[in-house]
């Protein structure tokens, strides 16, 4: 039986970074070593995962050392930060945002967990709450159309991550790029 070796996240980032594009890497990033390794592989920015927020001193140190390269991921479920990965956290949203911003987070990525993959439109109320932190906000979860992107722009979001809608064809990435870039 043949065993297929899967490339590591770092190899995938390096392959994509060899193209003339900026690369934002994400997925369970919690440590300074992971941030540095992804940066060395070619990532322009790295999303620090919600699970990292359980360790305020370590995250504060990491933001101080790597700040401009980081985007702080905030996965929100029922008004609380709840990571979806292997290291679950359950943190108060606004209190956590307070210390994350004080620690120097340059940008935030808010994901509405309940809307991921649902194409039901973004949670604009959640976006407004997170934007009160005073940092640029990227949004994920529920985005289904160019109209949703216009709604996010009108709400003041700095950008959006589009997944299911692009994969399943309800949002044409070419049209979206032509409209917003």
Tell me if the pTM is above 0.85. yes
**Please, are residues 89 and 53 in contact by the beta-carbon 8 Å criterion?**
yes
Give the three-state DSSP class for 76.
Answer: strand
> Considering the domain 46-180 in this protein, what is its CATH number?
3.20.20.70
pLDDT per residue as tens digits for the range 116-150: 877 788 999 999 999 999 999 999 998 999 999 99
Estimate to the nearest angstrom the gap between the alpha carbon of 45 and the chain centroid.
10
81 - beta bridge partners?
76, 91
pLDDT per residue as tens digits for the range 48-78: 999 999 999 999 999 999 888 999 999 999 9
């Amino acid at each position: 039986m043949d065993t297929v070796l899967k490339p590591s996240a770092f190899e995938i980032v390096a392959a994509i970074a060899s193209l003339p594009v900026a690369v934002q890497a994400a997925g369970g990033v919690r440590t300074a070593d992971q941030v540095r390794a992804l940066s060395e592989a070619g990532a322009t920015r790295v999303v620090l995962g919600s699970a990292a927020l359980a360790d305020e001193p370590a995250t504060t140190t990491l933001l101080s050392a790597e700040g401009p390269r980081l985007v702080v991921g905030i996965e929100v479920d029922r008004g609380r930060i709840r990571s979806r990965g292997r290291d679950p956290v359950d943190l108060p949203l606004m209190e956590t945002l307070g210390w994350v911003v004080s620690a120097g987070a340059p940008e935030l990525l808010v994901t509405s967990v309940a809307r991921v993959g649902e194409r039901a439109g973004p949670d604009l109320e959640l976006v407004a709450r997170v934007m009160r932190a005073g940092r640029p906000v990227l949004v994920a979860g529920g985005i289904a159309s160019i109209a949703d992107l216009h709604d996010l722009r009108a709400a003041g979001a700095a950008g959006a991550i589009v997944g299911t809608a692009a994969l399943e064809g309800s949002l044409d990435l070419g049209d979206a790029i032509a409209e917003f870039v």
